Amino acid sequence: MIMMMILSRYFNSRTARRFVSTCSGHGWWDKVRVAPKDPTVKVNESFLADPFPHKINLGVGTYRDDDGKPFTPQCVGDAEAKINRYKLEETNSSEVSSKFVMESVKLAYGNDSFVVREGLYAGVPTLSGTGACRLFAEFQRNFYPDSQIHLPDPTWPNHHNIWSQAQIPVKTFHYYDPYTKGLDFDALISDVKNAPDSSFFLLHPCAHNPTGIDPTEEQWREISYQFKVKNHFPFFDMAYQGFSSGDLDKDAAALRIFVEDGHLVGLAQSFAKNMGLFGHKVGCLSVLTRDIKQAAAVKSQLEHIFHSMYSSPPIHGILLVTMILSDPTMKEQWKKEIKIMANRIRAMRTTLRRNLEDLDSSFSWEHITNQVGMFCFSGLTPDQVKYLEKQFHIYMSPDARISMAGVTPSNVNYLANAIHQVTRISEETSVCM
């Protein structure tokens, strides 16, 4: 009270009077609590804060080279130099976007795909994979307000946030079998059969995140068949095309099986990982339709949704991807670089497993090489994960997902040793008990 009187005496402007009158006013944001930290971000921050010289970051799924450095493919560097020489006028933005979408769907569905040739799809550029998923979730809510989304258990945690934020209830279906550290196929099929007809399902077509466990071709065909019987809607989130096998077409096989079987799928594509364009937020959402008239209608609705979210997508990444995919030389180079990246990860898998076996670990580590893509679902317990962090300065997701991209020839021995230590200790502890 006294403080306010002093202040008001010092300032004679109207501004001051107002300031005083607000001092006692309430803070609008008092009710706003601190948000929980995103788990991946938390891991990353802890890693960055750690001063230990031999620390290892196996948290976020961004590709690293053999020296543990971020890696920008050569084709991307070349494309950067090229587009810098001319910068696009806004009037051509929509032309570039159309070209981008065309190249993206060719990549996913196949150059000679019927749906691509006939234009039986609604496609728009999106803010990477997240943006594509969110756009579809909003679209789903607009036209199927009472629907739910069935997500694999486990899945990328942000899938849950995305559909929840779009106000679509989330259900999960069986996927990971912790006993075999493989796919729980029977339970998966059972869940597909038991879901109400015409349910929306999200599937990872390759390099499942976080488990690295993909169905076989046979299993995919069975899933597709069951989806047909139940008239389910398959939504694919393809964030790692090229990272499973090193071959872009092979990695799209599951998607193409469904399309061949006549499903009118939805697809989220991301170029964050396979082109190293993380920060540029380049992705594509496509929804297959019966005819081009419907494709135009669906596209217009998707545009309407993102128009009120961010008006239009950022052009830089779109330019890069379009240039790389539409230039045969660049595209070839990119395919080579993907193979290199995928092979490096596979080599690290092999080395890690061999090291553990050489240490005479009594556990089976074959899941390390059975799983594909960037991630390894190690099967470590939460306590073991904590121990690895505290004692060995090795950081991974709380669910014990290891980003193999963070494993290098120079740290793989240290990693193997550390994993061996924590699992041996746990075993000994449990034996004593």
> Which residue number, 129 or 392, has a Cβ lying nearer to another protein?
129
CA distances from 207 to 24, 153, 238, 240, 246 (A): 56, 15, 9, 6, 11
CA pair distance 150, 191, nearest whole angstrom: 10
Range list of H helices, 245-327:
248-251, 253-260, 292-310, 315-326
Catalytic residue list contains 171:
no
- Sequence-distant (≥ 6) Cβ neighbours of residue 223 within 8 angstroms: 188, 189, 192, 203, 215
Q: Please, what is the minimum distance in Å from the beta carbon of residue 120 to another protein?
A: 10
* Contact between 357 and another protein per CB under 8 A: no
CA distances from 204 to 22, 83, 93, 152, 251 (A): 53, 33, 31, 9, 11
* Contact between 74 and another protein per CB under 8 A: no
> Which residue number, 221 or 339, has a Cβ lying nearer to another protein?
221
DSSP 16: H
Q: Please, what is the minimum distance in Å from the beta carbon of residue 379 to another protein?
A: 27
* Contact between 67 and another protein per CB under 8 A: no
For another protein (CB under 8 A), the number of binding residues is 95
* Contact between 262 and another protein per CB under 8 A: yes
Written as one letter, the residue type at 311 is: S
The binder of another protein chosen from 161, 361, 369, 417 (CB under 8 A) = 161
* Contact between 280 and another protein per CB under 8 A: yes
Q: Please, what is the minimum distance in Å from the beta carbon of residue 395 to another protein?
A: 16
* Contact between 10 and another protein per CB under 8 A: no
Span 182-221, contacts to another protein by CB under 8 A: 198, 218, 221
Q: Please, what is the minimum distance in Å from the beta carbon of residue 358 to another protein?
A: 34
Contact indicator for 391, 371 with CB cutoff of 8 Å: no
Catalytic residue list contains 181:
no
Q: Distance between alpha carbon 35 and the CA centroid of its chain, in Å?
A: 22
* Contact between 261 and another protein per CB under 8 A: yes
Catalytic residue among 78, 214, 237, 251: 237
* Contact between 12 and another protein per CB under 8 A: no
The binder of another protein chosen from 52, 66, 74, 77 (CB under 8 A) = 77
For tokens 């258990």, the residue is 153
Q: Please, what is the minimum distance in Å from the beta carbon of residue 289 to another protein?
A: 6
The binder of another protein chosen from 104, 113, 224, 408 (CB under 8 A) = 224
Span 84-143, contacts to another protein by CB under 8 A: 84, 87-91, 93, 127-128, 130-131, 134, 138, 143
* Closest among 329, 279, 244 to 72, alpha carbons compared: 279
With residues binned 3-state (H G I as helix, E B as strand, rest as coil), the percentages for the chain, rounded to 5, are 55, 15, 35
* Contact between 21 and another protein per CB under 8 A: yes
CA pair distance 424, 432, nearest whole angstrom: 12
* Contact between 164 and another protein per CB under 8 A: yes
Catalytic residue among 273, 281, 299, 365: 273
CA pair distance 298, 264, nearest whole angstrom: 13
* Contact between 287 and another protein per CB under 8 A: yes
Q: Is the peptide bond before 169 cis (omega within 30 degrees of 0)?
A: no
- Token readout for 355 is 């090291």
Span 298-337, contacts to another protein by CB under 8 A: 298, 300-301, 303-305, 307-317
Q: Please, what is the minimum distance in Å from the beta carbon of residue 137 to another protein?
A: 9
Catalytic residue list contains 156:
yes
Q: Please, what is the minimum distance in Å from the beta carbon of residue 55 to another protein?
A: 18
* Closest among 232, 231, 205, 241 to 220, alpha carbons compared: 205
* Contact between 60 and another protein per CB under 8 A: yes
Catalytic positions, please? 156, 237, 273
